[in-house]
Amino acid sequence: MNPVFNRRTALRGAVVLAGLTSLQGTATETASADGFKELTWKLIRPSSNFQLMPVRVISGIPTTIGYGKPVAIGPVIVQATCDKNVGPVARSTGCDMISAVFDLTVVVTDARGLSGRFPVTVQFPRTEVPATQVEFVFTGTAALTGTGTPPAARNPGPMRITVDRRVTGVTTLYNMKTGAPHQLASQADLMPPDQDPLIATIEVR
């Protein structure tokens, strides 16, 4: 579903995240934003036996944006640190590669308390899993679902970007001999439940 950028939406600093649509283009502003922090997730499906998975945005959201100016965000790069048992478990099923797509909703709230909700898809490309019990990093990109033109940021001050506490998607395992994919419905929840869901803070000046 495409976001509708009507007049009320344009008055929300929340629409800054619509700039994620620039993921497909050339970005000029990719510095990490102040306030980035690591969020930890528990993989509920297909398995809840793994340890918590730390995830953070590592680049793509600017530290500051100019008041009344178009927003330039992207590419947004996300890294997830996978539990040391993920590789051996995957290989025990005859698979040596893994990819994933997760859908989530972000909430962007400006300094006046006006907010908007935006659907985002995070894609992790096919990655080889280790054969031994070691952690490995899963690196993907995040993009706004749908299309749209981001209005300018309207309200000066700090803008908070948070994420809903549950994400859903599909994890795909690839057979090490044939390369055939095997898809698994997936769900991850923020753990502990009272964890602050803040992804980043941007200063509108």
pLDDT in tens, the chain (205 residues): 333 333 333 233 233 333 333 322 222 233 344 446 799 999 998 877 788 999 999 988 888 888 877 766 778 999 999 999 999 999 999 999 999 999 999 988 888 888 888 899 999 999 999 999 999 999 999 988 865 445 567 789 998 999 999 999 999 999 999 999 999 999 999 999 899 999 988 899 8
Q: Is 171 helix (H, G, I), strand (E, B) or coil?
A: strand
Q: Read off the pTM.
A: 0.79
104 closest CA partner among 90, 125, 116, 120: 120
The pLDDT value given to residue 141: 96
Closest by CA position to 74, among listed 25, 119, 108, 118: 25
DSSP state of 132: S
Separation CA 21–CA 19 (nearest Å): 5
d(Cα 100, Cα 69) in Å, to the nearest integer?
Answer: 35
Helix (H, G, I), strand (E, B) or coil at 121: strand
Structure tokens at 195: 């964890």
Distances (CA, A) of 122 to 26, 100, 170: 19, 8, 11
Residue 124, φ and ψ in degrees, nearest 5 = -105, 115
CB contact at 8 A, 124 and 100:
yes
Tell me the two tokens of residue 180. 């055939």
